[in-house]
Chain A
Amino acid sequence: GAVVSQHPSRVICKSGTSVKIECRSLDFQATTMFWYRQFPKQSLMLMATSNEGSKATYEQGVEKDKFLINHASLTLSTLTVTSAHPEDSSFYICSAPNRGQSYNEQFFGPGTRLTVL
């Protein structure tokens, strides 16, 4: 299989604090992972591409200093939302391709619901 987990599934924090979200590939290695954000009733928007052992690549309009990404191992990428504000409240989802199973298919984590008060 190709299972991707995320932790936490839900987090509520106060404005100004930082929140770390973990994305793990449980049964495969992922040199690349993707982070998406989904606002209510909207589509998934790619935020950044996380690359193992190198810097993340951010999409236009995404602040790299606000959304810190670390991909320190072949099975773990973390997204840290720094100095979170209410407008950062969203559903954050990661995905990873399992090249050994399917060259194209992305496997999604279950998502993290972030609420900033």
Chain B
Amino acid sequence: GENVEQHPSTLSVQEGDSAVIKCTYSDSASNYFPWYKQELGKRPQLIIDIRSNVGEKKDQRIAVTLNKTAKHFSLHITETQPEDSAVYFCAASLSAGGTSYGKLTFGQGTILTVHP
């Protein structure tokens, strides 16, 4: 089955700096890669996602890059703000077909702290 590794486990930055979180996956059949922000006791919130036919996607201060050959993808947050502080999870899934359809395999999570 799929295995997703996420680094770093904790990340501390100053307000205004950039933050980068990296993930690798093992199953070359995975083709959908979402990123979630989770606050304590709450459900994960989708912040950005990317499909395997795209190498990069950007939404305001957030961007995701995907390298299918190397099987890794990264989250980039620019101009970080204290309200960006949360736990971030990457995930991988197969978006169509097969018994694994739609199943999300999550990375271990990154605790991001943005200091004012």
Chain A interface residues (CB < 8 Å from chain B): 32, 34, 42-46, 49, 57, 60, 91, 93, 95, 97, 103-106, 108-111, 113
* Docked-complex contact B109 and A42, CB < 8 angstroms: yes
* Docked-complex contact A108 and B49, CB < 8 angstroms: no
* Docked-complex contact A34 and B43, CB < 8 angstroms: no
* Docked-complex contact A43 and B95, CB < 8 angstroms: no
Chain B interface residues (CB < 8 Å from chain A): 1, 32, 34, 41-44, 46, 49, 51, 89, 93, 95-96, 99, 101-109
Closest to A109 in B: B43
* Docked-complex contact B102 and A32, CB < 8 angstroms: yes
Would you mind naming 12 contact pairs between A and B with Cβ atoms under 8 Å apart? A42-B109, A43-B89, A44-B44, A46-B105, A57-B99, A93-B44, A103-B95, A103-B96, A105-B34, A109-B43, A111-B42, A113-B41
